[in-house]
């Protein structure tokens, strides 16, 4: 049975990096700079289907990030924040956000989200993979698990037969 355990670990190790890489779509981190009263970077440009992550820890002053029209809202102000928002297909344009207690002090930011261009009959160029491809990619890790499990089972059965 020792061989089976080794095979299991090898399969598990080989499967995980692929899964995490596929899940890790582009994320832009927005934090708070050393002045404690500014988002950094305060202005970012991303594409549809990508996300922003508001992340800071050990801040002297608690902050939050609220979009002007309520598109996103990190909730209560926090000294340690980790809030992620995905701009799914259809959510694009320019989004202004602010930190509620420090808005008046200029703690504001802008996120520009470019729409994804899809290939159509006029044969326009694409800036990003089509949404279909993105969706398929995100399903790969879920498809991989049964395949990996089947491999493990088949390997285990074979080795057992041999050992017997
Ligand atoms: Cu603030």
Residue 49 confidence (pLDDT)? 96
Q: State in Å: Cα 90 to ligand 1 middle.
A: 29
Please name the residues in contact with 17: beta carbons below 8 A apart, sequence gap of 6 or more. none
**Gyration radius from the chain CA atoms:** 22
Mind listing the pLDDT tens digit of every residue in the chain (164 residues)? 455 544 444 344 444 444 433 444 799 999 999 999 999 999 999 999 999 999 999 999 999 999 999 999 999 999 999 999 999 999 999 999 999 999 999 999 999 999 998 766 555 555 544 444 444 444 445 556 565 566 566 766 565 656 55
Full-model pTM: 0.59
Backbone angles phi, psi at 63, to 5 degrees: -125, 165
How far from 77 is each of 25, 41, 61, 81, 93, CA to CA, in Å?
A: 27, 19, 9, 8, 26
Cβ-based neighbour number of residue 63 at 10 Å: 23
Q: State in Å: Cα 36 to ligand 1 middle.
A: 7
Residue 117 confidence (pLDDT)? 81
Residue 65 confidence (pLDDT)? 98
The protein residues having their C-beta less than 5 angstroms from ligand 1 (an ion) are 63, 99, 102, 107
Q: State in Å: Cα 95 to ligand 1 middle.
A: 18
Residue 25 confidence (pLDDT)? 78
> Is there a cis peptide before residue 15, judged by omega within 30 degrees of 0?
no
Indicate the helix (H) or strand (E) that contains 65.
none
How far apart (Å, rounded) are the C-alpha atoms in residues 28 and 109? 13
CATH match for 2-163 among 2.60.40.420, 3.40.50.300, 3.40.50.2300, 3.40.50.720? 2.60.40.420
Residue 164 confidence (pLDDT)? 55
Question: Where do the domains of the chain lie?
Answer: 2-163
């Amino acid at each position: 049975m020792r061989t089976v355990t080794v095979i299991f670990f090898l399969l598990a190790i080989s499967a995980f990096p692929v899964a995490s890489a596929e899940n890790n779509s582009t994320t832009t981190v927005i934090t708070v700079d050393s002045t404690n009263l500014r988002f950094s970077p305060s202005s970012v440009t991303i594409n549809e289907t990508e996300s922003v992550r508001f992340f800071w820890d050990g801040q002297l002053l608690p902050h939050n990030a609220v979009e002007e029209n309520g598109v996103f809202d990190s909730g209560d102000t926090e000294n340690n924040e980790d809030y992620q928002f995905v701009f799914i297909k259809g959510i694009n344009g320019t989004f202004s956000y602010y930190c509620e207690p420090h808005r008046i002090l200029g703690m504001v930011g802008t996120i520009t989200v470019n729409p994804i261009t899809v290939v159509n009959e006029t044969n326009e160029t694409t800036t990003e993979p089509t949404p279909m491809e993105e969706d398929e990619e995100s399903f790969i890790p879920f498809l991989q698990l049964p395949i990996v499990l089947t491999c493990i089972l088949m390997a285990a059965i074979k080795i057992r037969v041999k050992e017997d």
